[in-house]
Amino acid sequence: MKLTDLEIFVVGNQPPNWGGRYFIFVKLTTDNGLTGYGEVYAAAVGPKTMTAVIEDVFARHMAGENPENIEMMFRRSYSSGFTQRPDPTVIGAFSGLEMACWDILGKAHNRPAYALMGGLMNAQIRSYTYLYPLPHHDAVTFWTSPDMQAETATEMVKLGFTAVKFDPAGPYTARGGHMPGMMDIDLSKRMCAAIRGAVGNKADLLFGTHGQFSTGGAIRLGRALEPYDPLWFEEPVPPDNVAAMAKVANAVRIPVATGERLTTKAEFAEVLRAGAANILQPALGRSGGILETKKIAAMAEVYNAQIAPHLYAGPVEWAANIQLAANIPNLLMVETIGTGMKGFAKDLIKGTIRWEDGFIQAPTEAGLGIAFDEELARANPYNGNGLHLEMQDAPCDYKHGNAFLGGAQD
């Protein structure tokens, strides 16, 4: 069995755009007619350029290879250009292609991918979601309204979620780490208080940030949040500054989580060695794919750390996350966008993932356990040149406050 053909789908996400501006899916075909699907997460270059990168990685390192030889194909990609170091663009491309190999292998043996990785560990997989506006909420003011967020949290707990994430401390600026404004600290405290008051002990609070604070600023904010006992303080400083993150972890009584912007075991190993986080959040469409992330999980197990796969992408990465989550012993939970049971993302995989009462059921179908709708994907192409996610150029606004609008891109 050999890999012969590649097709790439750059699919425009549909309103309200949770999950990003567009999704990049790949389809691989073998010489005996088997097909597999994967997804590349949050490219740092535009979709036309990323398409060319994916084509190059496939042609250079994977075409004509047996899809079983994932380790060899990873080492070729990781070493590409005489580098042998993490490259988020090349490894991002490989990550999506690698998922598709696992989808093919599962179909070849008529088994879920996790069955070929050591078997089933978690038949029920705990999931969490960001808090998103309810239909009657104002979609702009929601993000700075503790009352609206608390109302959504209440509804999510009614659905069965036992953890909810929110993100009131913005902004995300290309300028790097900054000291949070007093208004942002105050809003964060009020948001935590309102949500904790609404859900009580029925759900964990997950405090989201995206690396936007200086070391001192992250410590200051984290200490202000301690009375509300969040389960994690997510990526409080820029992800490339592991030493600074370790200082935050040692100074704040909230577990630090990180990983959505890291790639390969090389970067995750530095986090673990430094004691910078004990919850890792790999995004499988960037971290190196399923096998590489299983290795990351194994390293984390040695350090008594848990895995909470990240999702701000489409449903194929979600499916890959679930295969990994079904297999590893040190799973904490997986991210889900809402329940995943309605909307465009659900339709792209024909509703093949089963979510119920806060938990995902480990799939029993072959491969990634999904039925990808190629017709729907082709009917919704993304023809722009924007990035999947973007940061603002403007600095923190200390006079008027800041707002994070949930990651939706128009």
Domains of the chain: 116-368 (3.20.20.120)
Identify the pLDDT of residue 410.
64
Instruction: Please say if the pLDDT value at position 405 is more than 90.
Output: no
pLDDT band at 159 (very low <50, low <70, confident <90, very high): very high
Q: Which residues of 364-384 are buried (b: 16+ CB within 10 A; e: fewer)?
A: eebbbbbebeeeebeebebee
Residues of the chain with pLDDT > 70, as a percent, come to 99
Instruction: Please say if the pLDDT value at position 20 is more than 70.
Output: yes
Distance CA 157, CA 120 (A): 27
Q: Tell me what the mean pLDDT of segment 270-289 comes to.
A: 98
SS3 state at 38: strand
SS3 state at 304: coil
Give 224-244 pLDDT, tens digit per residue.
999 999 999 999 999 999 999
Identify the pLDDT of residue 328.
98
Give 85-101 pLDDT, tens digit per residue.
999 999 999 999 999 99
Find out whether 94 and 57 touch, Cβ atoms under 8 Å: yes
The backbone torsions φ and ψ at residue 273, rounded to the nearest 5 degrees and listed phi first, read -60, -40
Q: How many CB atoms lie within 10 A of CB 183?
A: 15
Instruction: Please say if the pLDDT value at position 335 is more than 70.
Output: yes
Identify the pLDDT of residue 375.
98
**All residues at 6 or more sequence positions from 344 whose CB lies less than 8 Å from its CB, including other chains:** 13, 14, 380
Phi-psi region of 351 (alpha: psi -120 to 50; beta: other; left: phi over 0): left
Which of 319, 338, 323, 248 shows the shortest CA–CA distance to 19? 338
Q: Read off the DSSP letter of residue 113.
A: G
Q: Tell me what the mean pLDDT of segment 28-54 comes to.
A: 96
Q: Tell me what the mean pLDDT of segment 119-141 comes to.
A: 97
Find out whether 26 and 38 touch, Cβ atoms under 8 Å: yes
Distance CA 168, CA 34 (A): 45
Q: Which residues of 272-309 are buried (b: 16+ CB within 10 A; e: fewer)?
A: beeebbbbbbbbbbbbbbbbbbbbbbebbeebebbbbb
SS3 state at 283: coil
Distance CA 112, CA 256 (A): 32
Instruction: Please say if the pLDDT value at position 409 is more than 70.
Output: no
Distance CA 178, CA 211 (A): 10
Find out whether 91 and 288 touch, Cβ atoms under 8 Å: yes
Instruction: Please say if the pLDDT value at position 334 is more than 70.
Output: yes
**Helices and strands of the chain, counted as H and E runs:** 13, 13
Identify the pLDDT of residue 130.
97
pLDDT band at 125 (very low <50, low <70, confident <90, very high): very high
Q: Tell me what the mean pLDDT of segment 248-257 comes to.
A: 98
Q: How many CB atoms lie within 10 A of CB 72?
A: 13
Which helix (H) or strand (E) segment holds residue 307: the answer is: strand 306-307
Q: Tell me what the mean pLDDT of segment 160-170 comes to.
A: 96
pLDDT band at 356 (very low <50, low <70, confident <90, very high): very high
Amino acid, res. 253: R
Q: Tell me what the mean pLDDT of segment 163-179 comes to.
A: 93
Give 45-85 pLDDT, tens digit per residue.
999 999 999 999 999 999 999 999 999 999 999 999 999 99
Identify the pLDDT of residue 367.
98
pLDDT band at 28 (very low <50, low <70, confident <90, very high): very high
Identify the pLDDT of residue 408.
66
Identify the pLDDT of residue 260.
97
Distance CA 93, CA 355 (A): 28
Distance CA 389, CA 272 (A): 27
Distance CA 114, CA 168 (A): 36
Instruction: Please say if the pLDDT value at position 251 is more than 80.
Output: yes
Identify the pLDDT of residue 406.
73
Distance CA 10, CA 381 (A): 6
Residues of the chain with pLDDT > 90, as a percent, come to 94
Radius of gyration of the chain (CA): 20
Instruction: Please say if the pLDDT value at position 42 is more than 90.
Output: no
Phi-psi region of 23 (alpha: psi -120 to 50; beta: other; left: phi over 0): beta
